[in-house]
């Protein structure tokens, strides 16, 4: 895979060096971080963090594999929660990155991988969605929007695009959540977490979603908690937690909480 040769994977403790396939990653290509999607399809989609080890070529591109983005469907729509840290190797480039792209008033896209790739293609998607709306006099469905994005990037497969995004929205069939990446994967699901901190996020959300029928408040808290826990353990995630809620009227920006504040809040709750 072109991307694999560009990146050399140094990962956090839980994964191996190099491109070893993990047991549960059926791994289409080498750039996996061995995380299955919820449905058990053994698709690996999270990308490894890049590093400048000195053995590989100098990497001047800033990637956002070091990230935690998360989205899950629940009774009242979709919760989208992301962190806001950008790293270049072990250097924290920014703590205030906007990793949720507002495609249009009822569609959101998250950003993982190359920031430029994500924002460019999602803005292009916004243009396509608007044209569709004007031509057909009705909003585009989440399935169609994610399909358009997947088809667009598929043409550049193997040319070094790096994008792992979740397209979230609400259409006439209800809440919609699709994971689309630059490998050409497009998967529908109820829960996705992408990035180096995704494992920690999964742990929180999986246990929190056991109780069905979450209220909006509870779901937001769960999303916020999941990102917080990921930032607590993952060095490459941090900054603020940006939380969005997608419902039948569109999306709402629920909150932006600094992780350190959340830490103090949760600590005091423990006491």
Partner 1 sequence: MAARYDRAITVFSPDGHLFQVEYAQEAVKKGSTAVGIRGKDIVVLGVEKKSVAKLQEERTVRKICALDDHVCMAFAGLTADARIVINRARVECQSHRLTVEDPVTVEYITRHIATLKQRYTQSNGRRPFGISALIVGFDCDGTPRLYQTDPSGTYHAWKANAIGRSAKTVREFLEKNYTEESIATDNDAIKLAIKALLEVVQSGGKNIELAVIRRNQSLKLLESKEIETLVTEIEKEKEEEAEKKKPKKST
In 3D, which of 185, 241, 259 has the Cα closest to residue 69?
A: 241
Q: Which is nearer to partner 1, 173 or 267 (CB)?
A: 173
Residues touching partner 1, count (CB under 8 A): 8
In the bound complex, what is the minimum distance in angstroms from residue 113's beta carbon to partner 1? 24
Cβ contact 241:225 at 8 Å: no
Query: Do the beta carbons of residue 233 and residue 68 sit within 8 Å?
Result: no
* Token digits of residue 150: 């997947």
| Residue tagged active-site, from 67, 69, 165, 231 | 67
Region near partner 1 per CB under 8 A, out of 47-55, 78-86, 137-145, 248-256: 137-145
Least CB distance to partner 1 at residue 135 (A): 8
Pairing state between β 186-188 and 174-181:
antiparallel
User: How distant is the alpha carbon of residue 46 from its chain centre?
Assistant: 8
Cβ proximity to partner 1, 151 vs 207, nearer residue = 151
Closest separation between CB of residue 221 and partner 1, Å?
A: 33
Binding status of residue 136 toward partner 1 by CB under 8 A: yes
The stretch among 112-120, 136-144, 160-168, 229-237 that binds partner 1 (CB under 8 A) is 136-144
In angstroms, what CA-CA distances link 125 with 100, 165, 189?
14, 12, 20
Q: Hey, which residues does 212 pair with through a beta bridge?
A: none
Q: Shortest approach of partner 1 to residue 138 CB, angstroms?
A: 9
Q: Does residue 76 contact residue 98 with C-beta atoms inside 8 Å? A: no
The answer to whether 141 contacts partner 1 (rule: CB under 8 A) is yes
Indicate if 67 belongs to the active site. yes
Nearer to partner 1, 3 or 145 (CB): 145
Contact 100, 80 (CB under 8 A): yes
Is the distance from CB of 236 to CB of 66 less than 8 angstroms? yes
- The reply on whether position 143 binds partner 1 by CB under 8 A is yes
Our finding on whether 151 is near partner 1 (CB under 8 A) is yes
Does residue 124 touch partner 1 according to CB under 8 A? no
Using CB under 8 A, list all residues that contact partner 1. 136, 140-141, 143-144, 147-148, 151
């Amino acid at each position: 895979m072109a991307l694999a040769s560009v990146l050399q994977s140094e990962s956090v403790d839980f994964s191996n060096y190099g491109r070893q396939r993990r047991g549960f990653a059926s791994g289409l290509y080498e750039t996996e971080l061995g995380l299955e999607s919820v449905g058990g399809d053994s698709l690996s989609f999270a990308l490894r963090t890049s590093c400048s080890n000195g053995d590989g070529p100098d990497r001047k591109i800033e990637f956002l594999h070091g990230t935690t983005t998360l989205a899950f469907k629940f009774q009242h729509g979709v919760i989208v929660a992301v962190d806001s840290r950008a790293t270049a190797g072990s250097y924290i480039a920014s703590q205030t990155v906007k990793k949720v792209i507002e495609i249009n008033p009822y569609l959101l896209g998250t950003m993982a991988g190359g920031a430029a790739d994500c924002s460019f293609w999602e803005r292009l998607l916004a243009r396509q969605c608007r044209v569709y709306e004007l031509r057909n006099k009705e909003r585009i469905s989440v399935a169609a929007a994610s399909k358009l994005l997947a088809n667009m990037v598929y043409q550049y497969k193997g040319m070094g695009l790096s994008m792992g995004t979740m397209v979230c929205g609400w259409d006439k069939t209800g809440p919609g959540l699709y994971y689309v990446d630059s490998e050409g994967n497009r998967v529908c699901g109820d829960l996705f977490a992408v990035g180096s901190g995704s494992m920690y996020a999964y742990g929180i959300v999986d246990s929190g979603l056991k109780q069905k029928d979450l209220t909006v408040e509870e779901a937001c808290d769960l999303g916020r908690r999941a990102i917080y826990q990921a930032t607590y353990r993952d060095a490459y995630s941090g900054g603020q937690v940006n939380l969005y809620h997608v419902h039948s009227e569109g999306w709402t920006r629920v909150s932006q909480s600094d992780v350190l504040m959340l830490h103090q809040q949760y600590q005091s709750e423990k006491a």
